[in-house]
Amino acid sequence: MQLIFILEQVVNGLVLGGYYLLIALGLSLIFSVGGVVNLSHGAFYALGAYVSVEISRVLGFVPAIVLSPVAVGLIGVLFDRFILRRFYTADPILSLLVTFGLAMVAEQLIRIIWGAAPIPASLPAALKGAVIVGDFLFSQYRLLLLAVVAAVLAGIWYLLQRTAFGCVVRAGIQQPDMVAALGIRLQPYMTAVVVLGVGMAALGGALVAPITTVHPAMGAEIMTVAFVVVVIGGLGSFWGVVLAALLVGVVRGLTIHFVSSAGEASMYVLMFLVLLLRPRGLLGERIEKLEK
Amino acid sequence: MSKIRPDSAPQNRPLSRRSALKIGAGAAAVSAIGFPAVLRAQSEAIRIGHLTPMTGFLGTLGEWAVMGIQMAAEEINAAGGVMGRPLEVKSEDSINPDTASTKAQRMLERDGMEVLMGEISSASALAISQVALRNKRLFMALGPRSDTLRGKSCNRYMFCTDIPNTVMVNAVGTALLRDNMVTGKKFATLTADYVFGHDLLRAAKTFFDAHGAQHVSDELIATDVTDFSPYLLKVRQAQPDIVCLNLAGNQVTNFVKQYAEFGLPWPTVGFNLNTADAWAAGEGNLSGTWPTVWHHSLDTPASKAFVADFQDKHGKVPENHAWIEYIALKLLAQAMEETKSTDTEKLVDFFEKGAKFDILKGREAYFRAWDHQLIQEAYPFTVKAPGEAKSQWDILDLGPAVPAADQPLEVIYPSREQNPCSL
């Protein structure tokens, strides 16, 4: 019986990891293309949640999940055009500071617009409830969430690895000067990647809004986890982030199974161990900009 | 630390004319600025330092707290202030116990605050109460509910206005006993992992033991947890009859949303819930029986008038923290007016003599002299079925006051034998 309980936590951890992945992958993507650690990523997640709640009041649940990332993605265009673009080639500390400041401004803006009190959001009754497979219990909604994450993951992978767009982006990451010499302007590609990353954060926010507290500081909350995942996986590594997100989910679940109060601490211990043994993260490459 | 330089201060030289002039001018400046300041203080504002969490997992509640206390201050000032002096309430984010303690010390030492008020976090209140004790100044702990605060950690300078954990357990417990949901039942508990939660768990265990309930599992949950799925799996493994929450702030909202998401079959009850957390849960997510210290649907004329005024001002109904901060400032103003003083010792004596206060409830409240907590009615409430609510605020059904009208208020409070407070 004990073994089944442990297995159940492992499987649940994988599902949870899928959700961490959505946030962390966007963060990693923006970093790998622009070299910017976007500390305001959590703000787009929070915005995604708030905008989806507003849309769902008018149009219903499914349109909200689709439209909220689009709307927030458009804000991402402005974010890239007016802020990020100035920092792609600057000292990394500057972009850290500006995005950190932006995160605080965004949180206060949410407070001004929607108030400090959390806003209510519910799942449609049809999506509530559990699926029991053998001895395992799954939330029906989380399985759906996992399917969405898998689809997004596959889409992003395909886009980066199998399309002309992806070719330019990957070339731009490694040889920006060469790409420019070939007469390709990288800027629109950068913008597109930022929109993708920000849109994924917003999608994450929209998907969890019905099952978590929608409040102004939710972005700061998720940012810590997202950052831990990205650091463990290796900044900028696609599969590293996937691996780390799942690992963090499973380690957290297992820790809670044995010592319930240590659940949140477990991911920091994991990060500590990984960094001790492998400072660049599990699958990270050496980053010249940060390791001069 | 600066080093002492041998050449900087000649020790034995007679006072020069220049130095004498400087000292004279300095003394004149001090008397010019200092004395009128002392005189002016007589008609100056009475300054009250208000600390409450405005960020973090209790931040939602702090926003209500600020609205409540500021509204009381405005009303008192509009009616001429206290002893002719206006009240000035300075609200700040207490953030965490460390910061709360630093800010409390600064408020007393540098900002000239005469009284400290506020707090929702029991841990931060504990830290502030130590500052109050050291400085021998009044601290009114408005929102924290830990029994320890009124028990082992009580002190002469702290007064607590909210109901303690034991009362919340008793308020819900009375309703559960009536519905036959305690004796012989298996309870799985989830507990906030800090002083408040531990304390609430202790009160809950005492209640379970006293009424033959079986406590099958407990999960300690850090205050920053947002995903409860691993804990829900553990609750399922424990196979309880009833799931019982000793959580706080956003934890409650997160839990009830995810409990509804997983659709687990057992009824939930909880020994702590603030109306704001219930409002945040969203339709169809919250269920069960819970305790409260006050709710805007309370049917007394004074309470209804307060709700109407608050709605006029803020466009929404007040949450229980807005209420408690409102009545607390009012009763402090009453104490200052009646003692004609802002002196801590006089105020403490006044409260200890058992003065009665109208706190907008059916029965008046008073501070118990030997543990300094406000003795008052409490209420259980249940959640309306989906579709029954007339507005987003109208989701709860308030039960009858506990204890019943023919019983003394103190029966739901810890007795002298149960409460280790000695002042």
The answer to whether the beta carbons of residues A99 and A226 sit under 8 Å apart is no
CA atoms within 13 A on the CB side of A66: 5
Q: Is A151 on the interface with B (CB under 8 A)?
A: no
What is the pLDDT averaged over residues A90-104? Answer: 92
Spatial neighbors of B128 by CB under 8 A, at least 6 apart, are: B51, B94, B100, B101, B104, B116, B119, B139, B141
Contacts B54 to A, Cβ<8 Å: 116
Provide the pLDDT for residue B5. Answer: 42
More confident residue, B10 or B280: B280
pLDDT band of residue B7 (cuts 50, 70, 90) is very low
Which chain B residue shows the shortest CA-CA distance from A221? B224
State how far residue A237 is from chain B, nearest Cα, in angstroms.
26
Task: Tell whether A166 is within 8 A of chain B (Cβ).
Answer: no
Question: Residues A132-146: pLDDT tens digits?
Answer: 888 888 899 999 999
Which residues of chain A have a CB within 8 Å of the CB of B237? 5
Closest by CA position to B139, among listed B152, B122, B157: B157
Q: How far apart are CA A13 and CA B73, in angstroms?
A: 50
Smallest Cα distance from A205 to chain B, Å: 13
The angle at the Cα of B408, spanning B402 to B412, to the nearest 5 degrees, equals 50
A239 CB neighbour count, 10 Å cutoff: 12
Q: Are strands B46-52 and B87-93 parallel, antiparallel or unpaired?
A: parallel
Q: Is A196 helix (H, G, I), strand (E, B) or coil?
A: helix
Q: How confident is the model at residue A91 (pLDDT cuts 50, 70, 90)?
A: confident
**Predicted pLDDT at B95:** 92
Instruction: List strands edge to edge, sheet with B87-93.
Output: B87-93, B46-52, B115-118, B139-141, B158-160
Query: How far is Cα B213 from Cα A69, in angstroms, rounded to an integer?
Result: 49
Task: Please tell me the distance from the alpha carbon of residue B281 to that of residue A206, in angstroms, as a whole number.
Answer: 16
Which residues in chain B have Cβ-Cβ distances shorter than 8 Å to A141?
Answer: 261
pLDDT at residue B30, as a whole number: 47
Give the mutation candidate from B262, B264, B394 for the A interface (greatest A CB count, under 10 A). B262
CB contact under 8 A, A256 and B230: yes
Q: Which residues pair with A137 in a beta bridge?
A: A132
B282 vs A contacts (CB less than 8 Å): 120-122, 210
CA B351 to chain centroid, in Å, comes to 18
Indicate the pLDDT class of residue A174, thresholds 50, 70 and 90.
confident
Q: Where is pLDDT greater, at A171 or B31?
A: A171
Question: How much of chain A, in percent, has pLDDT values that exceed 70?
Answer: 97
d(CA B136, CA B138): 7
Nearest to B263 among A12, A129, A265 (CB): A129
- Using a CB-CB cut-off of 8 Å, the residues of chain A touching B394 are none
Phi, psi for residue B375 in degrees, rounded to 5: -90, 120
The DSSP-derived string for B4-21 is: PPTTTS-SSPPPPHHHHH
Question: Residue range B368-380: average pLDDT?
Answer: 96
- pLDDT exceeding 90 applies to what percent of chain A? 79
Q: Of residues A66 and B44, which shows the higher confidence score? A: A66
| pLDDT tier at A33, thresholds 50, 70, 90 | confident
CB contacts, 8 Å: A6 with chain B: none
- For residue B343, the distance in angstroms to the closest alpha carbon of chain A comes to 36
Cα–Cα dist B66/B92, whole Å: 9
A positions 233-252 inside 8 Å of B (CB): 252
Q: What is the mean pLDDT of chain B?
A: 89
| Burial classification of residue A140, based on how many CB atoms lie within 10 Å of its CB (0-12 exposed, 13-18 middle, 19 or more buried) | middle
> What is the number of other CB atoms lying within 10 angstroms of the CB of residue B394?
13
Please tell me the distance in Å from B226's CA to the nearest CA on chain A. Answer: 7
Q: Is A114 on the interface with B (CB under 8 A)?
A: no
Taking CA atoms, what residue in A is nearest to B279?
A120
Mean pLDDT of B286-300: 94
Residues 6+ apart with CB under 8 A from B412: B166, B167, B170, B171, B378, B402, B403
Q: B234: which chain A residues are within 8 Å (Cβ-Cβ)?
A: 5, 256-257, 260
Q: Of A162, A254, A212, nearest to A49 (Cα)?
A: A212
CA distances from B28 to A34, B18, B24, B36, B184 (A): 64, 15, 6, 12, 80
B252 vs chain A: nearest CA distance in angstroms? 9
Per the prediction, chain A carries an average pLDDT of: 92
Chain A, chain B: beta-carbon pairs less than 8 Å apart: 124
Q: B197: which chain A residues are within 8 Å (Cβ-Cβ)?
A: none
Residues B146, B272: Cα–Cα separation, whole Å: 11
CA A8 to chain centre: 25
- pLDDT per position as a tens digit, B230-269: 999 999 999 999 999 999 989 999 999 999 999 999 999 9
> What is the nearest CA distance from A252 to chain B, expressed in angstroms?
8
DSSP for A78-114 reads HHHHHTGGGGTTS-HHHHHHHHHHHHHHHHHHHHHHH
Identity of the residue in A16, A120, A137 whose CB atom sits nearest the CB atom of B281: A120
The pLDDT of A263-289, averaged and rounded, is: 87
Which residue of A lies nearest to B221 if distances are taken between CA atoms?
A: A261
Residue of A nearest to B230 (CA): A253
| Model pLDDT for residues B302-343, shown as the tens digit of each residue | 999 999 999 999 999 999 999 999 999 999 999 999 999 999
Asked if residue B403 has a cis previous peptide bond (ω within 30° of 0), the answer is yes
For B320, residues 6+ apart whose C-beta sits below 8 A from its C-beta are B64, B274, B275, B292, B293, B294, B295
Contact residues, chain B, for A211 at CB < 8 Å: 257-258, 261
pLDDT at B43: 63
Query: Residue A90's pLDDT band (boundaries 50, 70, 90)?
Result: confident
CA angle B2, B3, B6 (to 5 degrees): 135
pLDDT band at B6 (very low <50, low <70, confident <90, very high): very low
Residue A13 to residue A251: CA distance in whole angstroms:
7
Q: Does the structure show a pLDDT above 90 at B345?
A: yes
For chain B, what's the residue count?
423
Identity of the residue in B234, B254, B282 whose CB atom sits nearest the CB atom of A120: B282
- The pair of three-digit structure tokens given for residue B226, joined into one six-digit string: 């947002």
| Rounded Cα gap, residues B125 and B136, in angstroms | 16
Answer whether A169's CB lies under 8 Å from A160's CB.
Answer: yes
Task: Mean pLDDT check: name the lowest of A220-229, B33-42, B81-90.
Answer: B33-42
Query: What's the confidence (pLDDT) of residue A133?
Result: 85
Q: Nearest residue on chain A to B58, judged by CA atoms? A: A117
CA distance, residue B408 to nearest chain A CA (Å): 36
Do B387 and B409 touch, CB atoms closer than 8 A?
no
Q: Are B280 and A120 in contact (CB under 8 A)?
A: yes
Contact (CB, 8 A) for A39 and A223: yes
pLDDT at B96: 94
CB contact under 8 A, B250 and A118: yes
* Separation between Cα atoms, residue B87 and residue B117, nearest integer Å: 13
CA torsion sign, A199 to A203 to A205 to A209?
positive
The Cα–Cα gap between A18 and B276 comes to 31
pLDDT at residue number B423: 86
- Model confidence band, residue B4 (pLDDT cutoffs 50, 70, 90): very low
- Selected residue of A260, A261, A264, A269 to mutate for chain B interface (largest B Cβ count, 10 A): A260
A85 at the B interface (CB within 8 A)?
Answer: no
Separation in Å, CA of A53 to nearest CA in chain B: 11
